[in-house]
Amino acid sequence: MRHRLLVLSLAVALAACRQEPAPAPAPAADAPAGEAAAVTDAAPPAPALPAADAPAPGEVPRAFLCRGNEPFWALDIGAGSALLKTPDAEVALEGELKALAGGAWRFEGAPVDEGSETVGAVLSPAQCFDTMADGPALPFSAVVSFADGRQGQGCCRAEYGLDMANAPVADAAAKGKDDWSQQLPDLATAIGRCALDGGVATEAVTKAWPMNRGKIGVRLRDSGQARFDCVVDAGTGAIEGVQPVEGDGLLPGEGEPVWLPARENPPVLHCGRVERVTDGGGQLQGYLHYRAGCD
């Protein structure tokens, strides 16, 4: 199959996505003509983001939602995947989103079922207006070249969240005695087993603890906030049972922190503190999220 390249670069606004520079400042009344021209030709300062689109302290772009017109296209980009939508089809892409210099981002990936068709995307900050809709400027503009040679232009909105990729690695030995993750090295295998094989669509682990007779308890929470207790034999790694938790009562230290599983697209968090959990070989296993400061 012919190798194809879909390149997305957000640098200049064209057609369906246009940039509008701020009006040049008027020259001073007594300035010489040459000085007035220099002021007029100078590039205007970058506009501030609207409050709704401005990241909170410590947040970085975690996803991009891009749209274009004539022809219509849409590209939703996450950390490890993207979805390209056109009037003809929707194509799921697998890849990686990386930060570049100057606030730009690059996504490279390929269709899930056709790995030879490479998709590349370079996203650069720019004030962008959708010509088919009224509204404030979006913080990124897009020019897309499709595999068949067609081009389209559009604008992108960024979704911001805590910087998961550069979060510090969790150090269990440095944890306080009331922090259940202090025992994480001894609990990690059971946590992973329950989260992946416990029969629960696990969103988070709110606590894990050693039990009598060589057992480990792991409390799971699903996306509907229902909780389940999973019991694992520490010696064999076998799951001995998973039971729903009745009532709203919390175990001592439960929820501070919560363990979040590593997925293709890391969770988007807007507050608190995050640490990466890795195994002995440095492989990412999940995240610890402390919610202090979120309320």
Q: Dig out the tokens for 150 from the structure.
A: 């067609």
Which of the four pLDDT bands, split at 50, 70 and 90, describes residue 176? Answer: very high
- 3-state SS, one letter per residue, for 86-102: CCCCEEEEEEEEEECHH
As given in the structure block, the two tokens for residue 95 are 């890849």
Tell me the backbone φ, ψ of residue 273, rounded to 5 degrees: -135, 140
In contact, 97 and 90? CB cutoff 8 Å: no
Cβ–Cβ under 8 Å, residues 84 and 91: yes
Average of pLDDT values for 104-115? 79
Q: List all residues 6 or more positions away from 8 whose beta carbon is below 8 Å from its beta carbon.
A: 66, 75, 107, 119, 120, 121, 122, 123, 142, 143, 144, 145
Tokens of 214: 């060589």
Q: What is the pTM of this model?
A: 0.69
Give pLDDT tens digits for 49-92. 444 456 777 788 889 998 888 778 898 988 889 998 988 889 89
CA 24, CA 114: separation in Å to the nearest integer? 49
What does the alpha-carbon distance between residue 200 and residue 11 come to, in Å, rounded to a whole number?
44
Closest-CA residue to 147 (of 117, 111, 182, 190): 117
Grade residue 111 by pLDDT with cuts at 50, 70 and 90.
confident
